[in-house]
Amino acid sequence: MMDVGRHPNITLLTYSEVEEVSGYVGSFSVRIRKRARSVDEDLCTGCGLCQEKCPRRVVDTAFEEGMGKRKAIYRSFSQAVPNIPVIDRENCLYYLRGRCKLCEKYCPTGAIRFDQEDTILDLDVGAIVVATGFQMWDPTQLEEYGYGTSPNIITGMEFERLSNSSGPTEGEILTAEGEVPESVAIIHCVGSRDERAHEYCSRFCCMVALKQAHLVHDKTGAEVYDFYIDMRTFGKAYEEFYGRMRREGIHFIQGRPAQVAEDPVTKKLHIEVEDVLLGKWMEIPVDMVVLANAVEPQHDSGRIAALFGLGRTPDGWFAEAPPKLRPVETSTAGVLLAGSCQAPRDVPDTVAHAGAAALEVVRLFNQGVVTVSPTVAVVDASQCVGCGECIPVCPYTAIARGPEEKAQINAALCMGCGTCVAACPSGAITALQFTDEEIVAQIDGLLAPVV
Amino acid sequence: MEEPRIGVYICECGVNISATVDVPGVVEMASDLPGVVIARLHKYACSEDGQVTIQNDIRELGLNRVVVASCTPRMHEPTFRRAVADAGLNPYLFEMANIREHVSWVVRDTEAGTDKAKRLVRSAVARVAFHSPLEARQEPVTQAALVVGGGIAGIQAALGIADSGYQVYLVEREPSIGGHMAQLDKTFPTLDCSI
């Protein structure tokens, strides 16, 4: 992370989103909206005084997963890159009520800018790597897991914040009542491998669950019950890690729990499950339940796909060009995929996939030129009457008016789709290698009887 | 237009095509099509031997058009275009007929499959006769990259490109890069810290 912030060849645009993309491999134009941080990035030294003095505390539903609080002017975490805070205008007292400005008062470099506006940046790039990642599936959708009915039923990501030394409990694993749990259940495949939610395996949650089982056992000494369907520890050193957890004394139970319910009197969480290896029905009371909930495509992955011309598989992940041999390429040349926006990936696999995407970009840049298919549309100026019918139908905005108002096709933008050929009322446009005679010959060849 | 001298190569793709298409029958039909100088059967047209056969025919028989009937052009059109270009023929004087994905893999009946394969080959031969030589164009590349997303994948890709000496714009919608990774406590299987 720090390397990215310092790298002379990397321009970091955080709190920013891509709004428009046009062009083609080797020559894309991109419009980016850099949202107003309300802080002058050049003046801010990242001292953190503004954050300390800000009187407004809000629940952090993003980085802290709702487990902790932050200020209205904040950095998500201590090692944030860039080390520059942002004002959350929906919660800042100045934006809400027109007064406060304590951050401005205390800022030693005068970097607070309440009137800062979004800025628009237009960039020219030759290649695009889409690395927009995943989101966690919301487990309230399957009622039997009881998520939302007790504060001690938490997701895996909430557990991470609980166990992280920078989190709300400084890394102490505690129940909502502030006590060290004596027993903890970890449930695999919550929303994964389940036709009611996601049919696919989320791939890395078995290992996450095992790691969390270890952390609970190690930090609290609690009895840990791990409920799994199949243990998928296929990576290097993963099966060995599972073996180590068995030796550490984690209780592994093969079976998908039917119900997690809180006892109204004791507040214990009762797990009802059939241990399929023993063929035995069990009810296990615990103090805390951690759900290994599924990962899924980002909520706005449809919009992102449309923006970059990406296909999606039926489950919503971005589609690579033919699978197996071209794992980072897409149906749009020059747009590459990296990481879990394409499918759930753990850290080592993400790093490898992103490295492959970087190589494709570097390969293109080293070549310095792209070879473009010559099967484009051409205008016979002597036939063109300049009616302009072709201009709005072109999906690639490749046609404009040239000399004498006649149609002129930019061969670099034309994809040879033939829409303009069909639209031209005077028959002045021809698609190379798809001329009328070629197409008629092809049709005749297909339709004549076979002797 | 010069008189077409067409070579037609029908691929068996092992048994992928020959199991449901009468390939010798298709070759026989193709031999009699107008402009066809030679029609041959090959077990794997995409193999080195298959490509050399086509190249030798171009040189020895003076072919000026080539048709290969085999798999989808998504697979081997670049292979055959390169092969004919290496033998001195313009790569756009080439046409492919897909008799695997469009025929043998989707029909069970040999008679119907052979009929469709013959039509596709005849159609490709009729079409290729009208092809004109074209030259692929080369366009310059802007040597700067956009990386969208600042999690592990975006960070890794950005560093890979930037370390190779190229400009990278890394766009992240949150106030900081780091993604989910920055939220984690310890990572498997080594249990080291995540940041």
Do residue B166 and residue A373 have CB atoms under 8 angstroms apart? no
* pLDDT tens-digit readout, A212-223: 999 999 999 999
The CATH topology of domain A135-296 is FAD/NAD(P)-binding domain (3.50.50)
First to last CA, chain A: 69
**Do the beta carbons of residue A207 and residue A346 sit within 8 Å?**
yes
Nearest CA-CA distance, residue B26 and chain A, Å: 11
**Which residues have CB under 8 Å from B121's CB, separation 6+?**
B8, B10, B26, B29, B30, B67, B69, B97, B99
Of B126, B132, B137, the CB nearest to A441: B126
| Residue B180 with chain A: CB contacts under 8 Å | 133-134, 157
Taking the C-alpha atoms of residue A76 and residue A60, their distance in angstroms, rounded to an integer, is 9
A325 touches chain B (CB under 8 A): no
pLDDT at A413: 82
Nearest CA-CA distance, residue A439 and chain B, Å: 7
pLDDT band, residue A1 (cuts 50/70/90): confident
B187 touches chain A (CB under 8 A): yes
Could you tell me which chain B residue has the CA closest to the CA of A21? B146
How distant is the alpha carbon of residue B1 from its chain centre?
Answer: 28
* pLDDT tens-digit readout, A98-141: 999 999 999 999 999 999 999 999 999 999 999 999 999 999 99
Neighbours of B109 (CB within 10 A): 9
**Which residues have CB under 8 Å from B153's CB, separation 6+?**
A131, A133, A338, A339, A340, A341, A345, A350, A351, A353, A354, A357
Nearest CA-CA distance, residue B135 and chain A, Å: 6
* pLDDT tens-digit readout, B118-132: 999 999 999 999 999
Averaged over A405-434, what is the pLDDT?
Answer: 93
**Do the beta carbons of residue A257 and residue A187 sit within 8 Å?**
yes
Beta strands of A229-299 (E only): which ranges?
251-254, 259-262, 269-275, 280-286, 288-293, 295-297
Taking the C-alpha atoms of residue A287 and residue A185, their distance in angstroms, rounded to an integer, is 8
pLDDT at B100: 98
A10 touches chain B (CB under 8 A): yes
Closest CA to A364 of A123, A112, A28: A28
pLDDT at B1: 64
| b/e burial code for range A224-260 (CB count within 10 A of at least 16 → b) | bbbbbbebbbebeebeebbeebeeeebebbbbbbeeb
**Do the beta carbons of residue A185 and residue A284 sit within 8 Å?**
yes
Kindly report the average pLDDT of chain B as a whole number: 96
Do residue B142 and residue A126 have CB atoms under 8 angstroms apart? yes
Of A161, A338, A447, the CB nearest to B154: A338
Beta strands of A89-195 (E only): which ranges?
119-125, 127-130, 134-136, 153-155, 183-190
Distances (CA, A) of B118 to A88, B29, B63, B93, B107: 68, 7, 21, 20, 14
Concatenated DSSP letters for chain B?
-PPP-EEEEEE-TTTTTTTTS-HHHHHHHHHTSTTEEEEEEES-TTSHHHHHHHHHHHHHH---EEEEEES-HHHHHHHHHHHHHHTTS-TTSEEEEE-IIIIITT---HHHHHHHHHHHHHHHHHHHTT------EEEE---EEEEE--SHHHHHHHHHHHHTT-EEEEEESSSSS-GGGGG-SSBTTTTB---
Query: How do the residues of chain A divide into helix, strand and coil, expressed in percent and rounded to 5?
Result: 25, 25, 45
Range(s) within chain A of domains with CATH label 3.50.50.60: 135-296
Q: Any bridge partners for residue A18, and if so which? A: A32
Do residue A211 and residue B191 have CB atoms under 8 angstroms apart? yes
Range(s) within chain A of domains with CATH label 3.30.70.20: 377-447
Instruction: Tell whether the model's pLDDT for residue A451 goes beyond 80.
Output: no
A95 touches chain B (CB under 8 A): no
Which two three-digit tokens encode residue A295? 């990962």
Taking the C-alpha atoms of residue A60 and residue A77, their distance in angstroms, rounded to an integer, is 11
Distances (CA, A) of A360 to A47, A351, B164: 39, 14, 12
Of B142, B147, B176, the CB nearest to A131: B147
pLDDT band, residue A325 (cuts 50/70/90): confident
Q: How many CB pairs under 8 A join A and B?
A: 330
Kindly report the average pLDDT of chain A as a whole number: 96
Of A15, A81, A432, the CB nearest to B134: A432
Distances (CA, A) of A225 to A44, A45, A337: 48, 47, 37
- The ipTM (two decimal places) reads 0.92
Do residue B177 and residue A448 have CB atoms under 8 angstroms apart? no
Q: Which residue has the tokens 């840049």?
A: A365
φ/ψ of residue A357, rounded to 5: -65, -45
How distant is the alpha carbon of residue B27 from its chain centre?
Answer: 23
What's this model's pTM, rounded to 2 decimal places? 0.89
The CATH topology of domain A377-447 is Alpha-Beta Plaits (3.30.70)
pLDDT at A14: 97
* β-pairing verdict for B144-148 and A127-130: parallel
Taking the C-alpha atoms of residue A204 and residue A232, their distance in angstroms, rounded to an integer, is 8
Do residue B74 and residue A65 have CB atoms under 8 angstroms apart? no
pLDDT at A433: 94
Taking the C-alpha atoms of residue A179 and residue A286, their distance in angstroms, rounded to an integer, is 13
Do residue A81 and residue B177 have CB atoms under 8 angstroms apart? yes
pLDDT at A163: 96
Q: Give the alpha-carbon dihedral of A204, A210, A216, A221, to 10 degrees.
A: 180
| b/e burial code for range A277-311 (CB count within 10 A of at least 16 → b) | eeeeeeebebbbbbbbbbbbbbeebeebbebbebe
pLDDT at A376: 94
Do residue B136 and residue A214 have CB atoms under 8 angstroms apart? no
B123 touches chain A (CB under 8 A): yes
Interface test with A, best of B26, B93, B141 (most A CBs within 10 A): B141
Of A347, A374, A432, the CB nearest to B152: A347
pLDDT at A210: 98
| Residue A304 with chain B: CB contacts under 8 Å | 148
Do residue A126 and residue B195 have CB atoms under 8 angstroms apart? no
A76 touches chain B (CB under 8 A): yes
* β-pairing verdict for A295-297 and A134-136: antiparallel
| Residue B162 with chain A: CB contacts under 8 Å | 7, 9-10
pLDDT band, residue B195 (cuts 50/70/90): confident
Interface of A with B in 30-69 (CB under 8 A): 30, 32, 37, 62-63, 65
A445 touches chain B (CB under 8 A): yes
A403 touches chain B (CB under 8 A): no
Cis peptide leading into residue B189 (ω within 30°)? yes
Q: Any bridge partners for residue B68, and if so which? A: B9, B96
Phi-psi region of A377 (alpha: psi -120 to 50; beta: other; left: phi over 0): beta
* pLDDT tens-digit readout, A163-211: 999 999 999 999 999 999 999 999 999 999 999 999 999 999 999 999 9
Domains of chain B and any CATH numbers: 6-128 (3.40.50), 144-183 (no CATH)
Which two three-digit tokens encode residue A219? 């930090």
Instruction: Tell whether the model's pLDDT for residue A396 goes beyond 90.
Output: no
Instruction: Tell whether the model's pLDDT for residue A57 goes beyond 90.
Output: yes
Which two three-digit tokens encode residue A339? 């990481």
Could you tell me which chain A residue has the CA closest to the CA of B33? A445
* pLDDT tens-digit readout, A60-89: 999 999 999 999 999 999 999 999 999 999
* pLDDT tens-digit readout, B41-94: 999 999 999 999 999 999 999 999 999 999 999 889 999 999 999 999 999 999
Nearest CA-CA distance, residue B166 and chain A, Å: 6
Taking the C-alpha atoms of residue A133 and residue B176, their distance in angstroms, rounded to an integer, is 15
| Residue B144 with chain A: CB contacts under 8 Å | 123-126
φ/ψ of residue A20, rounded to 5: -145, 145
* pLDDT tens-digit readout, A16-36: 999 999 888 999 999 999 999
| Residue A350 with chain B: CB contacts under 8 Å | 151-153, 156
- Please tell me whether residue A113 adopts helix, strand or coil conformation: coil
Do residue A27 and residue B140 have CB atoms under 8 angstroms apart? yes
